Amino acid sequence: MCGIVGYLNRGKKTKQPLGLTLYKMLGALGCRGPDSAGVALFTHGHRGALIVRVKLAEGNGHDGLAESVVQGVAAVGRVKTFSTQQGYLRLVLDYRGDVRPVERLIESMHKDVEVVSMGRSLEIIKQVGTPENLDSAYGISGLEGTHGVGHTRLSTESRVDLSHSQPFWAHGHPDVAVVHNGHITNYHKMRRRYEQKGVRFYTENDSEIIGVYLAQRLSEGLELKEALKASLVDLDGSFSYLAATARQVGFAKDPFAFKPLLFAETDTAVVVATEEMAIRSGLTGRYVVREAQAREVRVWSR
Amino acid sequence: MVEIDGEGRTTREINSAVQEAVSHGADDIRVRNTGGRHNLGVAILRPVRLTLDGSVGYYCAGLSDGPSVEVSGSAGWGLAESMMNGMITVRGHAGNGAGAAMRGGIIVVHGDAAARAGVSMKGGTILIGGNCGYMAGFMAQKGVLVVCGDTGEAFADSMYEAACFVGGKIGELGNDAVIEKPSPDDLELLESLLSKHFGRKLKNLKARLRAFQKVVAGRKLWNFDKREWKTWKEAL
């Protein structure tokens, strides 16, 4: 079990911040996975600057590391602002080119350092514990944005720590985040193939492969919808997963419909979640909720 | 009429209130603000009327024996699972596994049902007004599954003595599923089911009835036979 949620605002002003909506939705799914919680928010950004969220360490023990990362990264672009919060360093960088060299540069500074997310609007915040823990540590319910996805985890096969938590960023591809409920059974086979091509894996979590897969498909020039459709053929196992980009949110469900996923649309928003309770917690009013069918793929744009 | 407001109450508190009302002899109970909670109205063993005002989560009205439950919104996974008797009506859509392993009674879904509706049903009737998803009727042993719209893939796979009726297109037949012509008795049953439950919404009932196909087991998988290994290999 795991719980996943997604929310996309359709451009109208809403009363509550995106972070609060996702937090309420995750709260309704907390019992599906108390191991870790996380959100990927697509914010209004910093005028096109690159927002980088870096995991310095699993806990608070990262003295001096933040400063050396900031100094190091200044070699590729001006650091507009930076701050640390628990084990995270968040920095806003004036940088326009390919994000992969920046990621490699940051991660070369210490073996524990991991870029959790990168993009012009994407920010991933995740940690071990419940959605309540996540909110008290990072105040996610106050964060503004246009759309996002979230996850509560019940770990079945891999370690419980920040790196193994979801959402996963599609490393190397800015502004793409994935949350997954299920198991990818051809994970090891696919991982070996990617590793032969030089792709770095950060965890032993099978869900990580979806981000890697989508990053590759999107880099090939596929639209998100096409990439999701292609994944129905290439990924084996049980899955309902959500993928979000700077302007879209979409889902794919496996050919056997092993994992739940429901969605609802109104004039103001699109809401997707593992259970209807979460949908009702995120969006009030009257609307129809449907369960996605086997092999169904849907994408909504802003 | 007993009214229970679900707002601010846990599932256990709501269900306790419902059970208490049932044990005090109430025959009409309404729960407001269901909020998509799981396990609402389970294990009601008397013929009471329960209205769930809103959507419900998993296993709604499971293990029922006799009640008449109406859900005004949608229902999640495992609607009326293992029910013995009663009538469960869902105005919206139903999630996966509606009526799984049910033994008797009737489930009426006005909208669509997702995957595996009627999986392993052992009796009773499921009536779906819209479409159904993947693998509906899988391993159904007895009972009737009616789908007024289209079906998904692997429809009526590996069934025993259940009968399925489809008003729309069959997405793909499952293993050992065969189409046959509905008998006059079948048509009579369909007519009474449709007019009773969808009466006011239905136009041209007679014409619609003519479109129904009946799907039953081809009985190829009932007993293992080495000579039919090819069929088995496919099914397994």
Alpha-carbon gap, residue B3 to B10, rounded angstroms = 16
pLDDT of residue B230: 82
pLDDT of residue A54: 97
* Residues of A at the B interface, defined by Cβ within 8 angstroms: 255-257, 260, 262, 275-281, 288-295
Q: Which of A1, A2, A80, A91 is catalytic?
A: A2
Asked if A152 and A203 sit in the same domain, the reply is: yes
Residues paired with A183 in a beta bridge: A238
Asked if A294 and A212 sit in the same domain, the reply is: yes
Residue A274, min C-alpha distance to chain B (Å):
10
Q: What is the CA B142 to chain-centroid distance, rounded?
A: 13
Asked if A153 and A105 sit in the same domain, the reply is: no
Contact indicator for A131, A28 with CB cutoff of 8 Å: no
Q: Among candidates B171, B144, B168, B173, which has minimal Cα distance to B157?
A: B173
Residue A79, min C-alpha distance to chain B (Å):
46
Asked if A149 and A274 sit in the same domain, the reply is: yes
Q: Which regions of A105-245 does DSSP assign to beta strands (E)?
A: 114-119, 122-128, 147-153, 168-169, 177-184, 237-244
Nearest to A275 among B76, B94, B96 (CB): B76
Q: What is the pLDDT of residues A110-131, one digit of tens each?
A: 988 999 999 999 999 999 999 9
Quote the domain boundaries for residue A203: 2-44+127-301
Determine which helix (DSSP H) or strand (DSSP E) holds A132, and give its type and residue range: helix A131-138
Report the CATH number that the domain containing residue A291 is assigned in CATH: 3.60.20.10
SS3 B125: strand
Q: What is the ipTM of this complex?
A: 0.86
Contact (CB<8Å) A288/B114:
no
Give which of B74, B93, B128, B153 to mutate to test A binding, by max A Cβ within 10 Å: B74
Domain boundary among A83, A103, A120: A120
pLDDT of residue B151: 98
pLDDT of residue B162: 98
What the block records as the tokens of A84 is: 């640390």
Is the confidence at residue A63, as pLDDT, over 90? Answer: no
Nearest to A277 among B36, B77, B134 (CB): B36
Helix axis angle, A208-219 to A187-196, nearest 10°:
50
Asked if A34 and A181 sit in the same domain, the reply is: yes
Alpha-carbon gap, residue B111 to B90, rounded angstroms = 8
Contact (CB<8Å) B76/A262:
yes
Q: What is the pLDDT of residues B106-143, one digit of tens each?
A: 999 999 999 999 999 999 999 999 999 999 999 999 99
Alpha-carbon gap, residue A208 to A199, rounded angstroms = 12
Reading across the β-sheet that carries B163-166, which strands appear in turn? B2-5, B28-32, B49-52, B65-71, B85-90, B106-109, B122-128, B142-147, B163-166, B213-217, B177-180
Contact (CB<8Å) B114/A279:
no
Residue A206, min C-alpha distance to chain B (Å):
25
What is the DSSP code string of A196-213?
HTT-----S-TTHHHHHH
Asked if A216 and A84 sit in the same domain, the reply is: no
pLDDT of residue B95: 95
Asked if A136 and A198 sit in the same domain, the reply is: yes
Count of A–B CB contacts within 8 Å? 72
Whether the CA torsion B75, A18, A131, A202 is positive or negative: it is positive
Of the CA atoms within 13 Å of residue B190, those in its CB half-sphere come to 28
Asked if A93 and A219 sit in the same domain, the reply is: no
Q: Give the pLDDT band (50/70/90) at residue B224.
A: confident
Please report, as a single letter, which amino acid is at residue B224: F
Write out chain B residues lying below 8 Å of A288, CB-based: 74, 92-93, 111
Domain boundary among A80, A95, A120: A120
Alpha-helical regions (H) of chain B: 11-23, 184-198, 205-211, 229-235
What is chain A's mean pLDDT, rounded? Answer: 95
Name all domains of chain B by residue range, CATH numbers in brackets. Answer: 32-219 (2.160.20.60)
Alpha-carbon gap, residue A290 to A27, rounded angstroms = 21
Please give the angle made by the CA atoms of A207, A201 and A95, to the nearest 5 degrees: 105
Q: What is the DSSP letter of B14?
A: H
Nearest to A276 among B57, B96, B116 (CB): B57
Alpha-carbon gap, residue A193 to B137, rounded angstroms = 39
Domain boundary among A120, A152, A177: A120
Q: What is the DSSP letter of B182?
A: P
Q: Give the pLDDT band (50/70/90) at residue B205.
A: confident
Contact (CB<8Å) A256/B112:
no
Going from the C-alpha of A132 to that of each of A36, A37, A150, A253, A276, the distances in angstroms are 10, 9, 13, 28, 20
Q: Does B136 touch chain A (CB under 8 A)?
A: no
Q: Spell out the residues 6+ positions from residue A68 whose beta carbon is closer than 8 angstroms to its own.
A: A109
What the block records as the tokens of A262 is: 């429901």
**How much of chain A is in helix, strand and coil states, percent to nearest 5?**
30, 30, 40
Total structural domains within chain A: 2
Rg (CA), chain B: 18
Residue range A270-286: mean pLDDT, rounded: 94
- Active-site residue, A31 included: no
Determine which helix (DSSP H) or strand (DSSP E) holds B142, and give its type and residue range: strand B142-147
Asked if A228 and A139 sit in the same domain, the reply is: yes
Contact (CB<8Å) A289/B73:
yes
What is the DSSP code string of A111-125?
TT-EEEEEESSEEEE
Asked if A88 and A113 sit in the same domain, the reply is: yes
Residue A282, min C-alpha distance to chain B (Å):
11
Asked if A289 and A222 sit in the same domain, the reply is: yes
Report the CATH number that the domain containing residue A91 is assigned in CATH: 3.30.70.100
Asked if A162 and A251 sit in the same domain, the reply is: yes
Of A26-35, A84-93, A127-136, B84-93, which gets the smallest average pLDDT? A26-35
pLDDT of residue A61: 73
Contact indicator for A36, A26 with CB cutoff of 8 Å: no
Q: Does B152 touch chain A (CB under 8 A)?
A: yes
SS3 B171: coil
